Structure 1
């Protein structure tokens, strides 16, 4: 199976996006993948903002991206785009940091009005980082994510299609990417 790394771009300590990302990571582990996770809010702010890739924590986060076969990139939507925290991290990565990787974008937001942020804000950046395959992503209304003591529950209105997308991502990791046409 594949090595998947989950990036969570929420700056909030009580983030539903982060809870959902952890829930998806567990789902992928049950599928047999090795899953790592970086919550970008936990990286040191000074080195992150200065794009100091010599900082040990920043270096480890970048290395985790390099070593992964696939990525889940999860962010809340603010002001019709993914979080500034995620943008700051993506900006310090090498130009083709996602080359050779399959990427699953997930965004959360308070209103269906933000659903287009997935395709018009996040997907182009993932493409510019060289992702070989960006699977269908998914937008989840934050009110559909219930975080409680025993875990996370996703309202079926969002959860059912979300888990179809996650299962498609998991299945895509078992297939080799076509690099050239014979």
Structure 2
């Protein structure tokens, strides 16, 4: 069984991005895929900002990344870029922290003018971490996120395309297990 880690990069406790991450976790779990949801805003700020990977909470978060077969990066869009909170976390990962993993970059934002923040800002950082496969990025308009908590639903204009991207991600998860890359064996 695959293990997927959803990493939410929103600093807000009322984040739509985080709710989308919860929604995706429930969807994948319903398909028999083990999921965890790492909310970066809950990590201690001082160790996170100083890249103190020895801090127990930060070390536990890095270990979650290491164990995962797939990563979904969920970030709000601020100033036409992914969140600084996500950037700080990605910066403290080892050079090949995504080695052998399938990765789905996902962003939320108020305007389609920010769509390219994923491919021009986040994708190069993700690629530098050595993933096996990065699926098509997905940008979700805030106004397409409907409902609350477990009742979250998506506007039809976003629901179907997100389904397509999730299907790509699931296929990527079925690829070579991450333990078999970079000289590691299963």
Inter-partner Cα distance in structure 1 for 2:149 and 2:170: 27
Q: CA-atom RMSD, angstroms?
A: 1.5
Inter-partner Cα distance in structure 1 for 2:69 and 2:150: 30
Equivalent residues of 1:47, 1:55 under 8 A apart: yes
Deviations 1:136-173 (A, max 9, x none): 12000011112425421111111110121112211221
Equivalent in the alignment of 1:4: 4
Equivalent in the alignment of 1:95: 95
Equivalent in the alignment of 1:46: 46
Give the paired residue count.
179
Equivalent in the alignment of 1:154: 154
Equivalent residues of 2:74, 2:107 under 8 A apart: yes
Equivalent in the alignment of 1:14: 14
Shift of 1:79: 0.8
Equivalent in the alignment of 1:170: 170
Equivalent residues of 2:19, 2:149 under 8 A apart: no
* Structure 2: unaligned runs, 5 residues or longer: 182-186
Q: State whether structure 2 residue 35 is matched by structure 1 residue 32.
A: no
Shift of 1:124: 0.5
Equivalent residues of 1:9, 1:39 under 8 A apart: yes
Inter-partner Cα distance in structure 1 for 2:124 and 2:151: 32
Change (3 A) 1:150 1:40: closer
- TM-score w.r.t. length of structure 2: 0.92
Deviations 1:27-59 (A, max 9, x none): 111121111110000101111111111111100
* Structure 1: unaligned runs, 5 residues or longer: none
